[in-house]
Structure formats: structure tokens, C-alpha cells
């Protein structure tokens, strides 16, 4: 049994003791990862099949896992419909599962997710001036603590893989002293940083600034988060998780894995079956998630 615990409450029914599992604290999950130098995969699940496949992989590999939904994904996966799915799946799982809002674009969105039962939220004010990012993030933290919810925030410019930002521009990297001030002034539980990583499907393998990561890790001593993991080399992933990265977001890799898997299924089946296609989505999701769990060294942690 690993070190990540599950919180539960108990009640008596017909003379029997019943346990109700509660959501796992993101803060506790990442603290354990920080101490033991591994990362927990945070997987953006846009369907029932994604959720089933992700949790199946985590249960088979005995790994903690984070399932999350970004605000930009609400049009295709409405949060009001996904929240009960996420929460019920998390409570029924035999491994620790955290339910997280990814890239909340406003305080209102973060509060909405809290009210729906999400155990943690990310407020993304990275595009704002530093002082404004601090001000809003601090208010999100204040409200979240009243809900018993943990908060992730972002500092630095995590761009998109399909643009032409200069990878060597030092301004895109999260600053060391800036990170320390941000953490002190906001009270967040995890910080997403920019070290050359980008969201989306990379055309070329990104070059991460591991030296900057190490500096931030040594100065801040708190769980750090890597966004835009798809396309990153295994060598860089290993360097990240051994230098303070405790949560790694995986979204595009799932979408690509499912799309490629379904394309192969359709090419080999003249009369495709809808139920079989749903099962193939579960299978493809499970394969992608299992690969990343092993890569992030969270296998066997529970």
C-alpha cells in the first residue's frame, strides 16, 4: 500500500458499517509526489469512455490519478454534465482520484466548479500583469479554502505549439523570484510554470529549460505543474519529475490516441458497430493513460 490515503466517512445501515469515500485532496496527492519524486498524471477526460479508460489504467497500475476538465472544453463536455460523472467515478475507484478544474479563465468559473463538487481548481491568470494575477488568484484561494478546495495557478507564458514564439526568449520562462513572491502572496497549493512547454500538438520536440525548473524548485519548495506535456521527450519528463514537477497535464495525447485508434478500427471493419466503437475509445484511453502513468513513475504508489 502506498502513502496516499483516502478520506472516508462512515455510517451505520441495517447494523452494518458502511464507508463513503470522499474526494482525494490534490494538495495531499501532490505532497506525496513531491516527497517521493514522482508525478501524478492529470488527464483531460471529455467523455464517459475517457473517464472509464483512465481510471481502469490507474486501478490496474495502482496509481493515483487526476481527472480534469478545462474551461475551453466546456462546449464539447459541459461541466454541469461532466461533474457528476467525474465525482461518481472518483468515489467508486479503488485508487486515489482527484477531480480538478483545469484552466479556469475567471473567478466565476472556479466558484462554479467548487459548487459542483470539484476538489481543486486552477485559476489561469498567466496572461494578466503580475499584480492583477496575484490579486485575483489570492481571492480565488480565499474562497476555495472556505469550500475546502485546493488551488493551482499559473505564472509565465505557456504558449501554443502551433505559434511561432521564440523558444529562446527568456521572457517566456517563469521567473524564480517572481514565483516565490507569487506563492507567498497568494497561498496557492501548486504552481504551473513555463519552461519552454506549450499546449497542443508539437511539430518538433520542445526544448525544456531544466536549469530554470531546478532554480524554481530549489527556491519555492512546493509542488510544480507542467502543462503541455504532449511531445515532450522521455528524458525531459524524467528530469522534470526529479526536479519538482509533481503534476503533468495530458490532453492532446489522449485525443490523438483515440482518433488514431478509431481510424484503424474503421479501416478494418466494413460494418462498424457503435457499441464496439465506444469500447475502442475506452481501450485507447486506457493505453495512453497507462503509458503516461509508467512514464511519470506513479505506478504502484497506492
Q: What pTM was computed for the model?
A: 0.88
Q: What is the pLDDT of residue 172?
A: 75
More confident residue, 288 or 203: 288
157 or 254, which is more confident? 254
pLDDT-based confidence at residue 205 (cuts at 50, 70, 90): low
Q: Which letter, b or e, does each residue of 234-268 get, where b requires 16 or more Cβ atoms within 10 Å of its Cβ?
A: eebbebbbebbbbbbbbbbbbbebbeebeeebeee
Residue bearing cell 496575484: 134
Task: Report the pLDDT value the prediction gives residue 232, as an integer from 0 to 100.
Answer: 81
10 within 8 A of 18, measured Cβ to Cβ: yes
For the stretch 29-66, pLDDT in tens is: 999 999 999 999 999 999 999 999 999 999 999 999 99
For residue range 74-103, list pLDDT tens digits in order: 999 999 999 999 999 999 999 999 999 999
pLDDT, averaged across the chain? 88
Cβ neighbour number for residue 14 with a 10 Å cutoff:
5
Instruction: Please check the confidence at residue 171 and state whether its pLDDT lies above 50.
Output: yes
| Domains of the chain by start residue, with CATH | 24-295 (3.20.20.70)
pLDDT for 1 equals 38
Catalytic residues: 102
Which three-class secondary structure string do you get for the chain? Answer: CCCCCCCEEEEEECCEEEEEECCCCHHHHHHHHHHHCCCEEEEECCCHHHHHHHHHHHHHHCCCEEEEEEHHHCCCCCHHHHHHHHHHHHHHCCCCEEEEEEEECCHHHHHHHHHHCCCEEEECCCCCCHHHHHHHHHHHHHHHHHHCCEEEEEECCCEECCCCCCCCCHHHCCCHHHHHHHHHHHCCCEEEECCCCEECCCCCCCCCCHHHHHHHHHHHCCCEEECCCCCCCHHHHHHHHCCCEEEEEECHHHHHHHHHHHHHHHHHCCCCCHHHHHHHHHHHHHHHHHHHHHHCCCCCCC
Is it the case that residue 157 has pLDDT exceeding 60? yes
pLDDT in tens, 256-273: 999 999 999 999 999 999
Distance in angstroms (rounded) separating the CA atoms of residues 112 and 105: 12
Amino acid at each position: 500500500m502506498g502513502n496516499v490515503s483516502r478520506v472516508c466517512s462512515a455510517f451505520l445501515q441495517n447494523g452494518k458499517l458502511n464507508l463513503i469515500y470522499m474526494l482525494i485532496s490534490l494538495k495531499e496527492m501532490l505532497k506525496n509526489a513531491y516527497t517521493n519524486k514522482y508525478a501524478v498524471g492529470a488527464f483531460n477526460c471529455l467523455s464517459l469512455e475517457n473517464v472509464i479508460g483512465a481510471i481502469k489504467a490507474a486501478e490496474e497500475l495502482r496509481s493515483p490519478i487526476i481527472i480534469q476538465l478545462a474551461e475551453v472544453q466546456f462546449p464539447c463536455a459541459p461541466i454541469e454534465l461532466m461533474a457528476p460523472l467525474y465525482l461518481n467515478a472518483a468515489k467508486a475507484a479503488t485508487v486515489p482520484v482527484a477531480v480538478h478544474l483545469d484552466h479556469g479563465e475567471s473567478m466565476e468559473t472556479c466558484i462554479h466548479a467548487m459548487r459542483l463538487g470539484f476538489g481543486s481548481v486552477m485559476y489561469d491568470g498567466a496572461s494578466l500583469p503580475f499584480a492583477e494575477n496575484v490579486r485575483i488568484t489570492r481571492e480565488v484561494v480565499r474562497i476555495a479554502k472556505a469550500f475546502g478546495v485546493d488551488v493551482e495557478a499559473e505564472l509565465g507564458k505557456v504558449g501554443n505549439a502551433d505559434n511561432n514564439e521564440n523558444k529562446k526568449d527568456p521572457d517566456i520562462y517563469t521567473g524564480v523570484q517572481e514565483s516565490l513572491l507569487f506563492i507567498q502572496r497568494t497561498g496557492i497549493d501548486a504552481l504551473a510554470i513555463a519552461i519552454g512547454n506549450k499546449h497542443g500538438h508539437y511539430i518538433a520536440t520542445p526544448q525544456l529549460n531544466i536549469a530554470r525548473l531546478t532554480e524554481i524548485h530549489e527556491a519555492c519548495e512546493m509542488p510544480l505543474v507542467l502543462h503541455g506535456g504532449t511531445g515532450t521527450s522521455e528524458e525531459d519528463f524524467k528530469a522534470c519529475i526529479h526536479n519538482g514537477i509533481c503534476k503533468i497535464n495530458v490532453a492532446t495525447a489522449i485525443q490523438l490516441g483515440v482518433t488514431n485508434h478509431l481510424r484503424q478500427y474503421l479501416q478494418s471493419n466494413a460494418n462498424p458497430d457503435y457499441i464496439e466503437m465506444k469500447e475502442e475509445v475506452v481501450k485507447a484511453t486506457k493505453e495512453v493513460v497507462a503509458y503516461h502513468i509508467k512514464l511519470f513513475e506513479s505506478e504502484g504508489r497506492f
